[in-house]
Homo-oligomer: A and B are copies of this chain.
Amino acid sequence: MKDKEFRKIAIVGLGLIGGSLAWALKKSGRIGNVTGIDSDGDSIDFAVSEKIIDEGYTGLREGISDAGIIVIATNVGQIVKTAKAIIPLAGKGAVITDVGSVKGRIVRGVEKVLPAHLRFVGGHPIAGTENSGVRSGDPGLFKGKRFVVTPTSKTDPKAVRKVASLWKTAGAEIHEMDPEAHDRIFGFVSHLPHIVAYSLVDTILSAPDAETLLDFAGGGLRDFTRVAASSPGMWADIFTENRENTLKSIKKFKKSLEKLEAVIENKDSESLKKLLSRSSRARREFSK
């Protein structure tokens, strides 16, 4: 096993992200042992039988012993708690990392309790689908996608390189930023769009003829219902963990919405066209 890049990786939480990462690492052939840990025995059995992991456990202790890197891939709301449970069990020098969609609270929360003989590196793979669970896993999920790593002044650079190398093995491109910048950016480009999609679907569901409206969802609503179909528990955690940025971005969004509302209300068609033109150009100019 000398030629393996990593001897043993333990992944705690075999959901869509944890399962897909395990699978990508296992397929790469560059990891000595990929171990999965999940409280759900069925997920473990499925992952072992599909060769997504080498071995699996429902308990932390057996699973993380000897692991050089321990990836926490639980729900965002459980990450700090899980890290606290891992700390007394992890071997000297082990690198703990996570995949949470929110970084500030998690990174600062784990740093506060991290002993000197362990390392922690916050991370967030920008990939996913509206499905969840290891059964929706895909070893190609991270291919060409970004992995945002969020070191702080307290983070060991060697540990950052190890985590980056792990995600490169899974096919991701590495981007580095501090946890607070991450939460501001993703508050705007990911959490706010989900808030908006959930609210839009709620608007439709609150109408007396909701079924008729949904029957005509093809008229533009469909993309939004797809976004709003994402795991409600996961998103409730994300909005809660990134509360301040989410609330700030909602306030900014309401300003933009009210600007548009006012020009329609005032029949100001010149300003209306100008506003729409600016937004319509954005896609062509910036995004791919």
Contact = CB atoms under 8 A, between A and B. Distances in A.
A219 B273 contact: no
A202 B279 contact: yes
Contacts of A246: 264
A30 interface: no
Contact of A250 (B202, B226, B257): B257
Interface of A: 126, 145-146, 185-186, 188-207, 209-233, 235-236, 239-240, 243, 246-247, 249-250, 252-257, 259-261, 264-265, 267, 269, 272-273, 275-280, 282-284, 286-287
Contacts of A225: 282-283, 287
A228 to B, nearest CB: 5
B240 A195 contact: no
A87 B60 CA distance: 79
8 contacts: A146-B216, A188-B221, A198-B260, A199-B256, A205-B279, A228-B279, A230-B280, A232-B277
A51 to B, nearest CB: 29
B236 A220 contact: no
Contacts of A255: 203, 206
Given A203-B255, A236-B272, 7 more contacts: A185-B219, A186-B216, A210-B286, A223-B223, A229-B284, A240-B272, A254-B254
Given A214-B286, A223-B227, A200 B236 contact: no
B272 A228 contact: no
Given A206-B256, A256-B202, A256-B203, A219 B190 contact: yes
Contacts of A224: 193, 196, 223
A203, A213, A226, A277, most chain B CB atoms within 10 A: A203
